[in-house]
Amino acid sequence: MLNVGSLGAAFVVGLVIGFVVANQAPKEAALRANQPMPVRMEDGLRSHASESKKRAAQEERQCDFCVTRNAVRNNHGLYAAGWRRGVFFVDDNLIGNRKALKEDLLPALIEWQKGKDLPLQTQLSIDIADDEPLTRMMVDAGFRTVFVGIETPDEESLSECNKQQNRGRNLVDDVKRLQRAGLIIQGGFIVGFDHDPADIFRRQIEFIQQSGIVTAMVGLLQAPPGTRLSDRLLKEDRLLEKGSGDNVDGTTNIVPMMDLAELRAGYERILLTSYSPKNYYKRVRTFLREYRAPSVQASLSARHILAFIRSIFRLGIVGRERFEYWKLLVWTVLRRPGQFATAVTFAIYRHHFRKTCERHVVPI
């Protein structure tokens, strides 16, 4: 099975401003005193868009309640230190153990979040859309953004990468159902599978646009060492090198079935089309039409106001996307005034996406 969830989540979080991984295990003294993990703000905590937590497998084996206890403790430590931005729970699939999630972790987070609303993020599989009570608990626990590995709209390619939970579904409807529940979906997409048809690039573009997944992480297939994919391609003499480990840098370490030049051209076309000002801002509006934000929302700060003022200058005055920028803001004021801050945030996101894409892949 090809697992690119962690990579994709790291990309979309790190892409915006910065990304830092915090060890979930409390420091020894804090553990003995049963106190929140100490957080040193001078370590650069405030300079990052999202704080990340690693749910350590070792802790999970120690006892049934260790993960929950440490998650709440560390959230409290961050909150007490003044952290009010996102906290990312790094897990290949947070809903892998639904029973423990529903009975242990989420109830504890829901209780802790009362009066706080610290925004949480994680990654999980699309089949959470089948479980409305679990989705509702995720939102009540403070989860605002989730990364989902969509990978591809092609059924045969989904079978190839053993993404069985994505097969036989209306994935666009699933995404919209989660958006209406109050979750912002970030999606991972891959091209370069053996079964990818010639029209896969068009279909990927159409899916991204129709689903309203604003943050679409699109990459070329890579074969990480030690995976079944890597072993298979090695036997077929189709493994070129170790690979960069970054499936969004425009490179691949495999010999694809599709002509390599055609694959790269199609990949670039997805990026150029999906992140063009017209299509990107249209996708934001598609998202905002569906999205039903949780009732508890963080208040605006001086940092938000300053970011808005900067966006007016960079995007609304000197930016090439200025027409689409103002079109989005006017549309939002008229149609979705309560989501004005979200619209501005996504406009700023594209500025960073464009810079990253131009630096690593292709100018947009």
- Residue closest to 298 by CA, chosen among 136, 122, 116: 116
Which residue ranges in the chain fall short of pLDDT 50?
A: 1-43, 55-62, 64
Length of the chain: 364
Task: For residue 251, give Cα distances in angstroms to 15, 132, 260.
Answer: 18, 38, 10
Helices 302-314 and 340-360: crossing angle in degrees, nearest 10, is: 60
Lateral strand order in the sheet of 143-151: 19-22, 50-54, 86-90, 120-124, 143-151, 184-191, 216-220
Secondary structure (DSSP) of 24-53: SSPPHHHHHHT-PPP--GGGTGGG-SEEEE
Q: By the 8 A CB rule, do 57 and 19 touch? A: no
50, β-bridge pairs = 19, 86
Contacting residues for 318 by C-beta, under 8 A, at least 6 apart:
none
| pTM for this predicted structure | 0.83
Distance CA 252, CA 263 (A): 10
Q: By the 8 A CB rule, do 211 and 189 touch? A: no
Task: For residue 34, give Cα distances in angstroms to 38, 62, 283.
Answer: 12, 16, 46
Q: By the 8 A CB rule, do 122 and 93 touch? A: no
- Residue closest to 36 by CA, chosen among 25, 47, 49: 25
The residue behind tokens 């027409």 is 323
Distance CA 43, CA 198 (A): 49
Tokens of 64: 């049934």
Residue pLDDT, tens place only, 277-331 = 999 999 999 999 999 998 865 667 788 899 999 999 999 999 999 999 999 999 9
5-221+256-274 falls under which CATH superfamily?
A: tm_1862 like domain (3.80.30.20)
Rounded to 5 degrees, φ, ψ at 328 are -65, -45
The residue behind tokens 């594209």 is 350
Distance CA 153, CA 200 (A): 8
Tokens of 352: 């960073």
pLDDT value of residue 14: 36
The residue behind tokens 């501005």 is 344
Delimit the domains of the chain by residue range.
5-221+256-274, 301-360
Q: Cα torsion for 266, 267, 273, 276, to the nearest 10°?
A: -150
Tokens of 305: 């106001």
pLDDT value of residue 332: 98
Angle at Cα 26 formed by Cα 24 and Cα 31, nearest 5°?
145
Give the SS3 label for residue 186.
Answer: strand
Distance CA 87, CA 115 (A): 17
Q: By the 8 A CB rule, do 187 and 217 touch? A: yes
Task: For residue 182, give Cα distances in angstroms to 73, 101, 106.
Answer: 25, 18, 16
Write the DSSP symbol of residue 239: B
